[in-house]
Amino acid sequence: MGHSFGEDTTADEVVSTLSERVEGRTFLITGPTPNGIGAATAYALARAHPAAILLAGRSPQKYGPVVEKILDIDPNVDVRVYAVDLGDVLFTREAAKKILSEVDKIDVLINNAGVMGLPLKKSVDGIEEHFATNHVGHFLLTNILMPAILKSDEPTIVSLTSGGHRAGTGDYSDYNFGHHDYNWHLGYGQSKLANIHFTQYLAKRLGPRGLVSLAVHPGVIWGTSLTSPLSGQQVADLRALTSSMKWKTVGQGAATTLVAALDRELGVENNGSYMADCQVSGTKCDGAKLPEAPEKLWSLSETLVKERFTY
């Protein structure tokens, strides 16, 4: 489907153009924090009469305003909230099973949740926290929900990555930074590169069954909770680092997610690709192009969640 979407496009503009791809469908969004990209994604979708919007995250008590706004837009949308702590394997597994028991079909899964700017620390499962939340939790959630996703006539998974993936190497053998120096850019970058490799492997493994899997960079966005762990100086440094880039609103940031979620023709033709500014853009990161990395990451991820997934 041809379109002229770009860096200034908003979520509402994408949904207005592709509204027939929303109506009657079920969407699950992780990390729907108020004022964030996930919430902006949900609001845009609500304007085109989806059957259901499922919100999943670790702070469901904070999502009340998001639910209210969705229902203000369209009171007929089936909105459900699920508690999912992606940094906890056991919690994620049980939450995903609960969702699977209550939801027959998920047309689009949007892996939107993420953390950034954390000092070196490990999750309850002993996994570096960026890697645990941004990748491992989504890996487990996605795979447990896969039976419901594959029931869709056009199953789609969108994983939010970041331009920060360029700080990753694609070598996950020291994912806990036991033998390498650490700073949050490296931890975050490793997890965001993992989102890309996960996307690539899903496309390779399940593309033949109709699954479209895309990774999207939302752009540089200020004013969300993602930067809350950073000190004032770290925020200032990051603003300086990104000063030459376009700073987007959350609505513009959600636009690329929605192009990936709704433009089926683009997805089928570019399955497994990286997107930015509403277009398939590729990446200059050498680590993203390592042919063996996606499968190695998949195997490591199965080990970390202590479960194998065969399709």
- Its pTM stands at 0.93
Rg from Cα positions in the chain: 18
Query: Could you confirm whether 188 is annotated as catalytic?
Result: yes
Whether 224 has a pLDDT exceeding 90, the answer reads no
Say which residue, 144 or 220, is predicted with more confidence.
Answer: 144
- Tokens 């597994």 correspond to 93
Distance of alpha carbon 232 from alpha carbon 259, whole angstroms: 34
Strands 274-276 and 279-280 come out as antiparallel
From CA 301, how far away is CA 135, in angstroms rounded? 9
6: left (phi over 0), alpha (psi -120 to 50) or beta: beta
What average pLDDT does range 51-79 have in this prediction?
97
Model pLDDT, residue 254: 93
User: Which residue do the tokens 């080990």 mark?
Assistant: 303
**pLDDT tens digits, residue range 16-53?**
999 999 999 999 999 999 989 999 999 999 999 999 99
Q: Each residue of 237-253: pLDDT tens digit?
A: 666 656 566 667 888 99
Give me the domains of the chain, ranges plus CATH numbers.
11-304 (3.40.50.720)
Name the catalytic one among 175, 188, 201, 274: 188
Q: Enumerate the β-bridge partners of residue 156.
A: 108, 212
Q: Which secondary structure element, helix H or strand E, spans residue 307, and what is its range?
A: none
CB 109, CB 156: distance < 8 Å: yes
Report the pLDDT value the prediction gives residue 247, as an integer from 0 to 100. 66
Token pair, residue 196, equals 């890309």
Largest distance between two CA atoms of the chain: 53
Instruction: Say if CB 53 and CB 70 are below 8 A apart.
Output: yes
Token pair recorded at residue 204: 């390779």
220 by DSSP, 3-state: which? strand
Whether the Cβ atoms of residue 106 and residue 145 lie closer than 8 Å to each other: yes
pLDDT in tens, 111-147: 999 997 889 999 999 999 999 999 999 999 999 999 9
pLDDT band at 286 (very low <50, low <70, confident <90, very high): confident
Alpha-carbon distance 152 to 147, whole Å? 9
Facing residues of 252 across strands? none
CB atoms within 10 A of CB 249: 17
Q: What is the mean pLDDT of the chain?
A: 91
